[in-house]
Structure 1
Amino acid sequence: MAALLTMLLLGPLPGCREPIVPPGAPTPWPKALARHWQWQWQLAGPLDVTADADVFLLDPVRTTSTETTALRARDRRLVCQVHVGSYATTDPDADRFPADIRGTPVVGRPGSRWLDVRRWDVIGPVLADRFRLCRGKGFGAVALDDADAYLHRSGFPLSFDDQLLFNRRVARLARSLDLSPGLIDDVPQVAALAPDFDFAVNQECVRRRECAKLLPFADAHKPVFHVEYTGDPAAFCVTTVGYGFASILKDRTLDAWRDPCPLP
């Protein structure tokens, strides 16, 4: 197993219109390219490795090493999506979460439940192993999903500060394992967390009328990967590209189809 992990780690990391990053380094996000990314978010259906995108946000469990190798050979940046504040009964490591830290069901995702993010002693080691899986498959960055349990009826009295501490801990953990950390949603904490994360992933800031709250990332020349599930790109791209976001229209199933906003 150790030999296999070493082989997986020795391959080149994804790049974007520049030389491939040396092995062992997390994915960089050069300021000069801050407004020039195209991205793909695919969690369902056969993976389209030929999509015209620089950055791919993928499920590290269902994505195979063969697929990541094909993408890395084309100099693509790979971001793994990891649920950090919840678990699903179908997760291979679900039994590592004891009953006392399992909360209420996640709305809209049968079989998923929130976790008590105050229990870093339990959750931290599990996330470390999930991040090692990402690294071993060739991902250079990780996007933290369900990093906003305090906004939901999680079953625990989680505060804004509880979540802030947890998210910062997860970002530090990712960096310690040579992964660039990114934040999915959690818009109310963007201003506080932007210094701790390298990029943001946002869903429907146009529909929710909260795109301006993501400017702490854009103003720091950090990528904002944005998706809308409804609306006309010809209309919302004017707003989001103006902010400096990389925007796409997708189906909520997050299959291979995408309609990207043009680059500025």
Structure 2
Amino acid sequence: MPALPSWLTEPLWDQFATLLPVRPVYDPAHPLGCHRRRVSDRIVFDKLLQVLRFGCSYQAIADSTCSATTIRGRRDEWIRLGAFAQLREIVLNAYDRIVGLVLEQIAIDGSITKAAGGGEAAGRSPVDRGKRGMKRSAMTDGYGIPLDRVLAGANCHDSPLLAPTLDLLNDLGPLPDDITVHLDAGHDSAKTRSVLDERGLRGQIAHKGEKAPLQATQRWHVERTHAWQNAFHRLARCYKRRLHVINAFFDLADAVITVRSLIRRAWTTHRWNNRPIRRP
């Protein structure tokens, strides 16, 4: 069962394949000069997409074409190469060239999910009876395209995560002169305003004690992005313990979200050979 439609996986794989080194079909170091054929990278890539989308274990998704050990080993190899982070960066740059990132309006918000396996990004969740959970401080542009995130334990407040999240803007290259950062009432403090002033940013912060509809801003874009990310069950209920593995799955999910938004927004303005028949 495919995890994603072909019009979405094909452009992702075409770009991801260019980031991988060329490997021989057979291991040249084998003493007998022959061995089992190397499992295709495309098969492993599709398996990782299924793990990300359905949240299943490697053992559950393994079959005669690829074992669970191969999936984990190839995943770690690609993480060491930085392939997932490069894919997210390339997709983000492509979206910026074709559609354009709305960097004048930035939204940042935290979201708590389950982290049943514990690990480096887990802590006692204040909304789940003290069970282990993970918080992500996500940053999006004005449309909701995920720019980056900072991961921490669920017991970490949003305010300390704001500064490291804003520092990720430096990786986006040239920025507009006037940037407005939309934040919820959890950031309504003098410390938050000081952090924004130090970076020359303007803050649109909800005030504590006031009803949300009276102060509705563009912060809903990041809330929608949280919902997009939580649709990937591997992120909504994380069993991974190592931070670099969790970030790799987030990079892959963000690449899927960005390509999907790119195809959807370019469907009415651009034509290409494998363009979906209907607007996705």
TM tier, smaller: under 0.3
Higher helix share: 2
- Normalised TM-score (structure 2): 0.27
Higher strand share: 1
- Normalised TM-score (structure 1): 0.28
